[in-house]
């Protein structure tokens, strides 16, 4: 299994990307990771000679975080991000990963690999931990700010197949993110999508889900338009960060609290890990012709290692093939 990794993408690159890739191939010798970017900068982060399972593909340019996505993809043809996606398009690798500019990665995915047949708008999915000890796949979280009811149905189908094949969930359930649980709640998009989701025979629709219940795990897949999904995701990230910060302040505010913190440290560490994006690797861009994973911009080496593992499962389980088969057998869910 060959994975292309944008070695220059992310806040901590190339340190995190290179070391994460090395750790990934160390844990799984069947993997090969192609590090794409400035060869000198990449070699500086390697432990001596190039480890087995690691390759370097030199790229002369970098797409920066503040670059305009479409313009950057079109003008910086030899950027690490563009070359990474291009290798996936050419089938030189099985999947592509970048922790760089999210908009640029989405633009590259659309412009270079293209959409799957029958998919009008790909979706960016995020893994959200829940109190059931599992995760919920939330999509779309920002690939498209607007959506039609049919798009939400396609998100539900793609998300269901992803969690089944990659996460191993049997008969995954699907919910619709809304302002209330009643069928008649929500805007016109939500009401129309509810009807389509309820009638779909190839998903297990459980109805509307309110945002406050998201982390309770009411479903395995939760769909919404990209505007709502992005707001929900960033609200969760902000809340989690604030809770952990306040908890740390309280636990160090007195000698008694410090003593209690020492006793609770294992449990607190476990709680922190469950809330840490690094545990879940990255967000798949579903609906593209080739497997593409968006890693968090602040990914450390552990997050990159997990992103490589997620990308490998994405490709190995042929999720795109299953999605295309579903689209081909049910013309009602194809793009209008």
pLDDT for the residue numbered 304: 95
Domains of the chain by residue range: 1-116+287-317, 120-280
Percent of the chain exceeding pLDDT 70 equals 93
Q: Considering only 73-87, 147-161, 169-183, 255-269, which range has the smallest mean pLDDT?
A: 255-269
Q: Which segment of 48-62, 83-97, 242-256, 266-280 scores lowest on mean pLDDT?
A: 266-280
Q: Residue 240 — very low, low, confident or very high, per pLDDT cuts 50/70/90?
A: confident
pLDDT in tens, 284-303: 999 999 999 999 888 899 99
CATH superfamily of the 120-280 domain: Isopropylmalate Dehydrogenase (3.40.718.10)
> Average pLDDT over the chain, rounded to whole?
89
Q: What is the pLDDT of residue 332?
A: 59
Q: What's the whole-number mean pLDDT along residues 127-144?
A: 87
Calpha distance 323→286 (Å, rounded): 9
CATH topology of domain 1-116+287-317: Isopropylmalate Dehydrogenase (3.40.718)
Q: Write down the pLDDT at residue 15.
A: 95
- 120-280 matches 1-116+287-317 in CATH topology: yes
Diameter over CA atoms, the chain: 66
Report the percentage of the chain scoring pLDDT > 90: 63
């Amino acid at each position: 299994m060959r994975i292309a990794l944008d070695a220059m993408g992310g806040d901590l690159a190339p340190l995190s990307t290179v070391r994460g890739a090395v750790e990934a191939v160390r844990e799984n010798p069947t993997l090969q990771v192609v590090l794409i970017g400035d060869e000198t900068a990449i070699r500086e982060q390697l432990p001596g000679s190039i480890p087995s399972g690691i390759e370097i593909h030199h790229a002369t340019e970098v797409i920066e975080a503040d670059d305009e996505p479409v313009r950057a993809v079109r003008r910086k043809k030899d950027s690490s991000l563009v070359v990474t996606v291009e290798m996936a398009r050419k089938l030189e690798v099985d999947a592509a990963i970048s922790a760089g500019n999210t908009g640029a990665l989405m633009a590259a995915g659309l412009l270079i690999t293209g959409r799957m047949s029958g998919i009008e708008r790909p979706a960016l999915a995020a893994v959200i931990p829940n109190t059931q000890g599992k995760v919920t796949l939330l999509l779309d979280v920002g690939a498209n700010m607007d959506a039609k009811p049919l798009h939400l149905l396609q998100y539900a189908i793609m998300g269901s197949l992803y969690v089944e094949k990659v996460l191993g969930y049997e008969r995954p359930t699907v919910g619709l993110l809304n302002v209330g649980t009643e069928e008649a709640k929500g805007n016109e998009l939500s009401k129309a999508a509810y009807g389509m989701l309820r009638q779909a025979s190839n998903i297990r629709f459980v109805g509307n889900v309110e945002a406050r219940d998201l982390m309770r795990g009411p479903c395995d897949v939760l769909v919404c338009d990209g505007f709502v999904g992005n707001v929900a995701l960033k609200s969760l990230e902000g809340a989690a960060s604030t809770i952990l910060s306040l908890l740390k302040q309280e636990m160090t505010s007195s000698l008694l609290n410090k003593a209690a913190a020492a006793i609770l440290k294992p449990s607190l560490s476990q709680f922190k890990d469950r809330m840490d994006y690094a545990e879940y690797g990255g967000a798949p861009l579903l609906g593209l012709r080739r497997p593409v994973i968006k890693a968090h911009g602040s990914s450390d080496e552990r997050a990159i290692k997990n992103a490589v593992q997620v990308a490998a499962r994405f490709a190995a389980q042929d999720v795109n093939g299953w999605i295309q088969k579903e689209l081909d057998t049910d013309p009602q869910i194809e793009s209008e």
